[in-house]
Amino acid sequence: MKYASATYVEETRIGFVFLRTHTWQHHVLRVAIDDLKRLIGEPLPRGGTLLDVGCGQGRSFRLLSDAFAPQRLIGLDADPHSIAMSHAEARREGIEATLLLGDCASIDLPDASVDVLFCHQTFHHLVEQERALDEFWRVLRPGGLLLFAESTRAYIDTWVIRWFFRHPMHVQKSADEYLAMLRGRGFAFDDAHVSLPYLWWSRSKDFGLLERWGIKAPPPPGKRDETLVNVAARKPRVDA
């Protein structure tokens, strides 16, 4: 089958295998979802429709189901092989999920039909980012939640990532540029809903080893090139 997006950048073989691993699920997905839950605050949204854009091989399904207990879980991906793997993952976990083969720039869902949209390590793969963000806005109901977790240009444009993965380099952005893009589209959030994780796996120069060995202290925010940005943003209600 062909990819569902003309601008889809095919993943490398080693990248595809990595996205199936316990390391990806436990050290990347789980950590991001836990951080996003913290940024949302209490009470967490429960029920409704949750859309996982760029769901890959479905390794987020169990984590999202446990965190938000959606009445309907939808996974969207442009890669037919990933969709097939997501079907298998949902069956293995006993989770009922609707899987859509499609493009983030043209989501086959009605307006205002989604309560929570989860976009984890997907946006920096997208060539048509503005169109995708327009689609996120369209399918989210007023008051709906966008959970946005992305790697920045400072991480994507490193020898480790360039060696093992493929990305459209001309669309990569800094943390500040991603935040400005979300605000420019109308999403609402303040500083309490943003985090800038500086995780060991995102530090291609030394993977944080010097800090873990106590040789040096980690650089504080504002004194480093941010490698990750997490945001819990809302589409404002009409009467807000």
pLDDT at residue number 100 = 97
pLDDT at residue number 71 = 98
The answer as to whether 8 is a domain residue is no
Contact 127, 7 (CB under 8 A): yes
The answer as to whether 126 is a domain residue is yes
Residue 131 token pair: 């169109």
Give which of 107, 150, 100 is closest to 125, Cα–Cα: 150
Domain that holds residue 194: 13-37+46-234
Contact 145, 68 (CB under 8 A): no
pLDDT at residue number 82 = 92
pLDDT at residue number 163 = 53
What amino acid is encoded at 224 in this protein? Answer: R
How far the first Cα of the chain sits from its last, in Å, is: 44
Cβ count near 154 (within 10 Å):
18
Give, to the nearest 10 degrees, the angle between helix 30-40 and helix 61-68: 20
The answer as to whether 239 is a domain residue is no
The answer as to whether 3 is a domain residue is no
pLDDT at residue number 92 = 96
Residue 57 token pair: 């091989």
Burial zone of 86 (CB within 10 Å; 0-12 exposed, 13-18 middle, 19+ buried): buried
CATH code of the domain covering residue 134: 3.40.50.150
The answer as to whether 190 is a domain residue is yes
Cβ count near 79 (within 10 Å):
22
The answer as to whether 2 is a domain residue is no
List CB contacts of 221: < 8 A, sequence separation 6 or more: 196
pLDDT at residue number 123 = 86
Give the CA radius of gyration of the chain. 17
Contact 79, 11 (CB under 8 A): yes
Contact 212, 200 (CB under 8 A): yes
The answer as to whether 4 is a domain residue is no
Burial zone of 30 (CB within 10 Å; 0-12 exposed, 13-18 middle, 19+ buried): middle
Enter the DSSP assignment of 106: B
pLDDT at residue number 198 = 74
What amino acid is encoded at 74 in this protein? Answer: I
Give which of 150, 159, 76, 158 is closest to 114, Cα–Cα: 76
- Number of structural domains, the chain? 1
pLDDT at residue number 103 = 92
* CA angle, 89 then 93 then 99, to 5°: 45
What are the CA-CA distances from residue 5 to residues 9, 60, 169, 186, 217 (Å)?
Answer: 9, 22, 17, 26, 44
What are the CA-CA distances from residue 236 to residues 33, 137, 186 (Å)?
Answer: 22, 10, 8
Residues of the chain falling short of pLDDT 70: 1-12, 15, 157-169, 199-223, 239-240
Residue 26 to residue 119: CA distance in whole angstroms:
17
